[in-house]
Chain A
Amino acid sequence: MKIGFIGLGIMGRPMALNLLKAGFEVDVWARRADAMRPLLEAGAMAAQHPAALAISSDLVISMVSDAPDVREVMLGENGVSSGVSAGAKAGLVAVDMSTILPTTARQIASELKDFGVDFLDAPVSGGEAGAIAGTLSIMVGGSKAAFATAHPVLACMGKNIVHVGDSGAGQVAKAANQIVTGVGVLTVAEALNFAGQNGVDPAGVREALMEGFARSKILENHGQRMLDRNFKPGFKSWMHQKDMNIVMQSAQELGVSLPAAAVAAQMFNAMVGAGLGEDDSVAMLKLLERLSGEEK
């Protein structure tokens, strides 16, 4: 199977490299030509535009930063859909692994269907480290047939690959994931800051909590990085802020209350406003320390 890969940023680059390592033939396209270089050196071929990728590939993957970019590479001028009109294979499967609004994913799926393209939304969690190690969690929405086609390819980039449901379901699962992790990071940072402000060693508190019901992956991993004051990304705060904005927009569309996520979203706004956007989301601790009157 030949794969076309669009978007070679922090996440897309290692994901595409893993496909090459697994022995797939990969054509790539990125807006900036220099972003393609590491992939070309590893054996990928450069395409002129997404339409050309669609013509040369059996499966197209996009990993870009925002909904307008997804729309552009899928349905814009020289996008995947125009490749179909120019002779791409029948039954082409397109997989978008970016994080966007579920309603936007459904809209793009329905528009691509008119071109005979079967679209999967397949956002990921696991960050840059997961992308490099090929251990991403991949949450997929779309048809069973397209999922079956894409599965062997996705399996080279991630290990926990779940077909959540129809179009948009992958993005809904990702949004739910960001609610849990966004609120979780805030909660752990609050607990550790609370301990510290009480004159108690946060490391001891974390250790105590780890044996009980408060145990979680976020307490374990993010909590440890907070204690180590290791704020290197990981997952940059501004990206989590962007994802929380998607979550809250989705709640607005649905008429659903997300009170805890709303607080977390506001705190991520404050992180970005406070100049912590390039730090990992564990820098939430720094924000809370400042709000407690500490200068750090």
Chain B
Amino acid sequence: MSLGARLGFVGLGAMGRPMVLNLLRAGYTVSVWARRPEVAQPLVEAGALRCVSPVDVARRSDVVFASLTASADVEQIALGSDGLIEGLAPGSIFVDMSSIAPTVTRSIAERLSERGVEMIDAPVSGGVQGAIDGALVIMAGGKSEVLERVRPLFSVLGKKVVHIGETGAGQVAKLCNQMVMVNTIQAVAEALHLAAAAGVDPAAVWQALAGGSAASRVLDVSGKRMVERRFTEGMVAASQHKDYGVLMNEAFRSGVLLPVAGQVWQQLNVLMGQGWGGDDTANLLRVLELRGKTP
């Protein structure tokens, strides 16, 4: 994909904004749209073209990216009235970098393919910092030849692109990623909770674990937050809770046993019920500490 390619981007939140900036910096032309115009303003100042609707973005673009929150948002933007589908030309590509249900991804791809429009599902891991640094890990689903066309764009946004498989496969990989990450956060929280309850310094336990076979990135990052009791910054627990809803529905649909994830889901429910959804997922430790307290 040459620098002459016309790009579009919808969804200019914490993830979308830095991704657009990186594409602009790499020299691409990017048309943007956000529901609230003031959200697009800083990007327009950085050289992006302002559009009045998703369909407007689609008409001006060969490749349209989306970075949205929930399945219903992507469905609405892609297929709703004034949606991308009304403006995308045959041969153009829709790249969805949101984390949504694989089933929804597949049904959107099918509708788009009726118009000759290709789709790549490309959810990411690496968080806001990864988006800013252009260091995301991109998990892609869709046809190889289509992925090859957008690969140069992905190399601007991320440091690693893995082609997982067919349409929807990227979303499945993202769910696996979320499950391993949050199940591990829960495991770390339980370990530190046990240490404290046994009268042992959690910080010392954390340090000891970091050097051995229990070491992990989650232990490093989330474990440190727990030890330092910094519960407000970092990942947004509500988004992980949303992902678990999608994950467990996928387990339901596939007839798959996920006993640990099923339990972690319940702990996330409590976290949400406590009103901590806007804070970091390290609050799973505080959920364990709720024991004995009345709400």
Contact = CB atoms under 8 A, between A and B. Distances in A.
Q: Do A and B bind each other?
A: yes
A272 interface: yes
Nearest to A264: B262
A22 interface: no
B245 A255 contact: no
B241 interface: yes
A273 B241 contact: no
B266 A269 contact: no
A245 B262 contact: no
Of the four ranges (under 10, 10 to 19, 20 to 34, 35 or more), the interface on chain B belongs to 20 to 34
A42 B76 CA distance: 47
A257 B269 contact: yes
Interface in A242-294: 245, 248-249, 251-252, 254-259, 262-263, 265-267, 269-274, 277
21 contacts: A248-B248, A248-B265, A251-B269, A252-B244, A252-B269, A254-B269, A255-B271, A256-B270, A257-B269, A257-B270, A262-B262, A262-B263, A263-B262, A263-B263, A265-B248, A266-B251, A266-B257, A266-B262, A269-B251, A270-B256, A273-B256
A274 B254 CA distance: 10
Interface of B: 241, 244-245, 248-249, 251-252, 254-259, 262-263, 265-267, 269-274
A265 B266 CA distance: 12
B240 to A, nearest CB: 12
A266 B245 contact: no
A241 interface: yes
Interface in A151-210: none
A222 B272 CA distance: 36
B255 A252 contact: no
Contacts of A255: 269-274
A263 B264 CA distance: 11
- A-B pairs, 3 with minimum CB distance: A273-B255, A255-B273, A272-B255
A22 to B, nearest CB: 38
Say what secondary structure dominates the interface of chain A: helix
Contact of B255 (A248, A249, A274): A274
A256 B272 CA distance: 8
B255 A257 contact: no
A203 B254 CA distance: 34
B269 A273 contact: no
Contact of A241 (B245, B252, B274): B252
Interface of A: 241, 245, 248-249, 251-252, 254-259, 262-263, 265-267, 269-274, 277
A267 B257 contact: yes
A277 B255 CA distance: 9
Nearest to B258: A266
Contacts of A274: 255
Contact of B266 (A249, A251, A270): A251
Contacts of A256: 269-270, 273
Contacts of B256: 269-270, 273
A245 B246 CA distance: 12
A65 to B, nearest CB: 15
Contacts of B257: 266-267, 269-270, 273
Contacts of B263: 259, 262-263
A269 B262 CA distance: 11
Contacts of B245: 249, 252
B178 to A, nearest CB: 15
A266 B249 CA distance: 11
A255 to B, nearest CB: 3
A252 B259 contact: no
Contact of A262 (B254, B265, B272): B265
Contact of B254 (A252, A265, A267, A273): A273
A254 B273 contact: yes
Contacts of B252: 241, 245, 265, 269
Contacts of B269: 251-252, 254-258
A150 B164 CA distance: 54
B179 to A, nearest CB: 13
B286 to A, nearest CB: 14
Nearest to B259: A266
The residue among A249, A259, A266, A273 with the most chain B CB atoms within 10 A of its own CB is: A266
Q: Which of A248, A252, A258 has the most CB of B within 10 A?
A: A252
A177 to B, nearest CB: 19
